[in-house]
A = this chain, B = another copy of it.
Amino acid sequence: MTHQESLSLSTTGHGAMNDLTALVQQAVGRSKINAGIAHVFAVGSTAAIGVIEFEPGLRKDLPETLDRLMPPSRAYGHEQTWHDGNGHSHLQATMLGPSLSVPVTGGKLVLGTWQQIFHLECDIHPRDRTIVITIHGD
């Protein structure tokens, strides 16, 4: 059995994190799937999906860490071609990855108490985003 839906998200720009856990759980509920996997995918090349303890400290630490490891710079080949100021956004999104799969048991996402599903905006402007949720199972 496969259930699929998409959701829209408006972000406030670089480093904005949104907690998707409740939205993904609602999709799992609508799917009527009891045991399987929920897959969450960010459409676009400058956003990422992952898990984190979704609290204010880490919501600041994760984007800051990414900016330290892959800082904004005009030296990127991407900048020299496109001059759009978001070379680091692409690199950060690629390193973190656009997708996540979480097990579903008894109709619920299996996550730790302090483990939430996030969307991270890596681009430098606010963006309207599409996220696709696909649930497989019995």
- Per assembly, the copies of the chain total 3
CB of B136 within 8 A of CB of A2, answer yes
A67 to chain B, nearest CB (A): 13
Binding site for B on A (CB under 8 A): 1-2, 4, 35-37, 39, 41, 43-45, 50-53, 55-62, 65, 69-70, 76-82, 87, 90-91, 94-103, 105, 110-112, 114-115, 132, 134, 136-138
Report Cα–Cα, A94/B135, bound state, in Å. Answer: 22
Other-chain contact of A78, B57, B99, B132 (Cβ < 8 Å): B57
Known: A35-B2, A62-B91, A90-B58. Is A98-B80 also a contact (CB below 8 A)? Answer: no
CB of A101 within 8 A of CB of B39, answer yes
A137 / chain B contacts, CB cutoff of 8 Å: 2, 134, 136
A62 to chain B, nearest CB (A): 6
CB of A87 within 8 A of CB of B4, answer no
Other-chain contact of A77, B35, B56, B79, B110 (Cβ < 8 Å): B56
A73 to chain B, nearest CB (A): 9
A52 / chain B contacts, CB cutoff of 8 Å: 45, 90, 94
The 29 sampled A-B contact pairs (Cβ below 8 Å) are A2-B136, A4-B35, A36-B136, A37-B134, A37-B136, A41-B103, A41-B110, A43-B110, A43-B111, A43-B112, A45-B51, A45-B53, A45-B112, A52-B94, A53-B78, A55-B82, A57-B78, A57-B79, A58-B76, A58-B87, A59-B77, A60-B77, A61-B78, A65-B70, A94-B96, A98-B115, A105-B132, A134-B137, A136-B136
